[in-house]
Amino acid sequence: MLESSFVPLLVAIPLLGAFVIPLLSKLWEGFADLVGNLVSVFLLGLAVYGLVHLSTGATGIVYKMGGWLPPIGITLVYDSLTALVVLITNLVVFPALLFSTRYLDQYTGRWKYYTLFMLLLAGLNGVAISGDLFNMFVFIEISAVASYALVAFGTRAEELEAGFKYMVMGEVGGLAILLSVALLYAKTSTLNLADMSQSLAAGGHTTFFWFALGTILVGFAIKMAMVPFHSWLPDAYLSAPAPVTAVLAGVFSKVVGVYAMSRVVFNLFGLSRTTAPAFFDMLVAFGLVSIVAGGLLAINQRNYKRLLAYSSVSQMGYILVGFGIGNYWGVVGALFLVVAHAATKGLLFLSARSIERSTGTRDIDSIGGLEKSMPVTAWSYILGSMSLAGIPPFAGFFAKLLIVLGAVASRMYWLAILAALFSTVTLGYLMKVIGKVFVGRKSTEPTPAQESPPMILLALVILVVVVVLFGIGFQPVLDWVVQPAAEALFGGLAYARLVFGG
C-alpha cells in the first residue's frame, strides 16, 4: 500500500498549492511564484519516480481510495500510459511556470494566476490517474474551467471574447461527455472503467454501444480541437497568457483529448483494428482532414502565433491518424508524437512570446534578422521548428517516421505518402517564419531587439534540452516510456485484470 501512496499526491499537491497561494500572498506577493514553482518541481520529481517505479517490472499501480475495493470504491490507476501522460504534463508545466515568473510582471493579481494554474495542473494530473469515468469527467471539467478563466486572464476585449467562445465550445464538449457517462451508467450500472469495460464487452457491439461511443468522442474531439471543431483554438491560443498557451497546446489537448480518447477507445470500449475496422478508418479520415485543413490554414498566416496554433490542429491530425492506423507501430508513433509535440509546441509558444515581448509585434513581415539580437530565443525557435517539421535527428522526425512505417505495415501506401507529403507542408510554413524573422534578407536592417531576461531564457533552454534529448535519445524514450504505454493500450481489457487483480 505504501508504494502506491504517491499516486493521489499528484492531485493533492497542486490542490494544496491552490489553497496556500492566496493565503500566503497576503504576506508577500513573491510566495505565489515560489509555491507555484516548488509544486511543479515536486510533481516533476513524482512523475519521474512513477516512471522509474513502473520500469522495475510492475505493470501498474492501483490505489484504492479509503481501502474500498473496486468496483465499489474509487480507484486511481497508474499504468505505463498514465506514466507517459503525467511525465509530459509536468515536463511542460515546469518551464511554463518558470516563464510565468517574469511574464506576470505586466499583470496585477499574480496569485490569482497561480491559483488557476494549480487548479489546471490538478485537473490534468487527475484525468491521467482517475480509474473511473465520472471522476475523469470531473477532472476534465476542473482543468477546463481553470483554462477558460486563464484564457480570459488579460481581460482585454479580445481576450474576453476568445475566452467566451472557447468556453461555449468547451462546455458543449463537456456536456456531451457527461451525457455519454450517464448513458453508459444507465446501461452498465457501474462507473469504474475496468468494471464497465467487462460489462460492455459482454454486451456486444449494439447500436447503443456506438451511440455512447460517438457521444463521448464528440466531446473529446471538441476538447482536442479536431476539424470541424477547431474554431475556438486559434483565438484561445492567441489570447491566453503565453505559458498558458504552452500548456494548452502542449499538454491540455493531449491529456483531455488524446489520452482520454485512447483510454476510452482501447481500454473501455475494447476496440482494435481487427474488431472494428470501419471505426478506425473513420479515425484516419478525421485525422487526415485535420492534417490538411490545419496545414493549409497555417501556410497563409502572417501572424507567427496564429500559424503555430493552426499547426497544432495539423499535428493533432497526425496523432489521430497514428491511432487510426491501429497497428503496433502506428500507435507507438502516435504516442511518441504526443511526447514530442508536447515539448516542441510548448517550446515554440514560449519562444514566440519571447520574440513578441521584445519586438511588440506578431507580424512576420515587420521583423527580421533577430538571430543577431536575440540568439537564444532565435535558436530555441529554430530548433523547435526543426523538431516540429520532422528533420532528423529530432523527436518529431522519429514520431512521423513511426507513423509512416505503421501505415506501410498495414499496406495503406496512399496514407504513408500523404503523411510524408504534408510533413513538407509543415516544413514549408515553419521555414517561412525562420527565413523572415530570424535570418532576414541582407537588404533589410535587422529589427532592434533586446534578449529576454535570464528566467525566460532558462525556461526556453530547459525545453530545448528536453526536445533535443527526446530526439537524440529516442531509443531509451521509446523503450522506457512509449512502448510500455502502447502495450497498455493494446492490452485492451487487460486493464480490467490489472485493476481487479492488483
Partner 1 sequence: MVPFLACIVLFLFGLYAVLLKRNIIKIIIGFSIMEYAVNLFFAFAGFKREALAPIITDVGMVRNFVDPLPQALVLTSIVIALATTALMLALAMRIYEKYKTFDIAEIRRLKG
Q: Are 308 and 348 in contact (CB under 8 A)?
A: yes
Minimum distance of partner 1 from residue 133's CB (angstroms) = 10
Minimum distance of partner 1 from residue 238's CB (angstroms) = 8
Q: Are 131 and 194 in contact (CB under 8 A)?
A: yes
Minimum distance of partner 1 from residue 484's CB (angstroms) = 33
Binding mask 219-248 for partner 1 (x = CB under 8 A): ------------x--xx-------------
In the bound state with partner 1, the residue whose beta carbon lies nearer, of 111 and 336, is 111
Scanning 77-85, 122-130, 179-187, 265-273 for contacts with partner 1 by CB under 8 A, the matching segment is: 179-187
Minimum distance of partner 1 from residue 146's CB (angstroms) = 10
How far lies 303's CA from each of 48, 351, 362, 364, in Å? 37, 14, 5, 6
Question: Angle at Cα 198 formed by Cα 171 and Cα 259, nearest 5°?
Answer: 40
Minimum distance of partner 1 from residue 168's CB (angstroms) = 6
71 upstream amide cis, omega within 30 of 0 = yes
In angstroms, rounded to a whole number, what is the distance separating the alpha carbons of residues 492 and 474? 26
In angstroms, rounded to a whole number, what is the distance separating the alpha carbons of residues 212 and 183? 6
* Dihedral angle computed from the Cα positions of residues 161, 166, 171 and 172, in that order, rounded to the nearest 10 degrees: 100
Nearest to 133 by CA among 85, 171, 170, 186: 186
* Dihedral angle computed from the Cα positions of residues 364, 366, 372 and 376, in that order, rounded to the nearest 10 degrees: -40
In the bound state with partner 1, the residue whose beta carbon lies nearer, of 150 and 276, is 150
Question: Applying CB under 8 A, which of residues 41, 58, 179, 493 lies at the interface with partner 1?
Answer: 179
In the bound state with partner 1, the residue whose beta carbon lies nearer, of 178 and 401, is 178
Minimum distance of partner 1 from residue 215's CB (angstroms) = 10
Residues in contact with partner 1, counted by CB under 8 A, come to a total of 35
Minimum distance of partner 1 from residue 402's CB (angstroms) = 32
Q: Per-residue b/e over 115-152, b at no fewer than 16 CB within 10 Å?
A: bbbbbbbbbbbbbbbbbbbbbbbebbbbbbbbbbbbbb
* 409 is a contact residue toward partner 1 (CB under 8 A): no
In the bound state with partner 1, the residue whose beta carbon lies nearer, of 145 and 457, is 145
- Say which residues have a Cβ less than 8 Å from residue 303's Cβ, sequence separation at least 6: 238, 362, 363, 364
Phi–psi pair at 79, nearest 5 degrees: -105, -170
Binding mask 50-79 for partner 1 (x = CB under 8 A): ------------------------------
- Say which residues have a Cβ less than 8 Å from residue 101's Cβ, sequence separation at least 6: 33, 37, 455
In the bound state with partner 1, the residue whose beta carbon lies nearer, of 33 and 235, is 235
Q: Are 373 and 447 in contact (CB under 8 A)?
A: yes
Question: Applying CB under 8 A, which of residues 15, 39, 167, 337 lies at the interface with partner 1?
Answer: 167
Minimum distance of partner 1 from residue 340's CB (angstroms) = 26
What is the rounded radius of gyration, in angstroms, for the C-alpha atoms of the chain? 22
In 189-276, alpha helices (H): 193-203, 207-223, 233-239, 242-247, 260-262
Residue 428: other Cβ atoms inside 10 A: 14
Report, in this order, helix, strand and coil percent for the chain, each rounded to 5: 80, 5, 20
In the bound state with partner 1, the residue whose beta carbon lies nearer, of 293 and 332, is 293
Residue 444: other Cβ atoms inside 10 A: 11
- Say which residues have a Cβ less than 8 Å from residue 401's Cβ, sequence separation at least 6: 333, 390
* 195 is a contact residue toward partner 1 (CB under 8 A): no
In the bound state with partner 1, the residue whose beta carbon lies nearer, of 162 and 459, is 162
Classified as helix, coil or strand, 363 is strand
Question: Applying CB under 8 A, which of residues 9, 48, 160, 282 lies at the interface with partner 1?
Answer: 160
Q: Residue 497 corresponds to which cell in the numbers above?
A: 485484470
Minimum distance of partner 1 from residue 352's CB (angstroms) = 17
Scanning 11-19, 163-171, 393-401, 451-459 for contacts with partner 1 by CB under 8 A, the matching segment is: 163-171
Minimum distance of partner 1 from residue 235's CB (angstroms) = 5
Classified as helix, coil or strand, 75 is strand
Question: Applying CB under 8 A, which of residues 23, 52, 65, 168 lies at the interface with partner 1?
Answer: 168
In the bound state with partner 1, the residue whose beta carbon lies nearer, of 12 and 182, is 182
Binding mask 260-299 for partner 1 (x = CB under 8 A): ----------------------------------------
| Residues between 129 and 158 that touch partner 1 (CB under 8 A) | 134, 138, 141, 145, 148-149, 152, 155-158
Question: Applying CB under 8 A, which of residues 161, 413, 421, 450 lies at the interface with partner 1?
Answer: 161
In the bound state with partner 1, the residue whose beta carbon lies nearer, of 129 and 339, is 129
Which helix (H) or strand (E) covers residue 79, if one does?
Answer: strand 75-79
* Site of interaction with partner 1 (CB under 8 A): 134, 138, 141, 145, 148-149, 152, 155-158, 160-165, 167-168, 171-172, 174-175, 178-179, 182-183, 185-186, 189, 191, 231, 234-235, 306
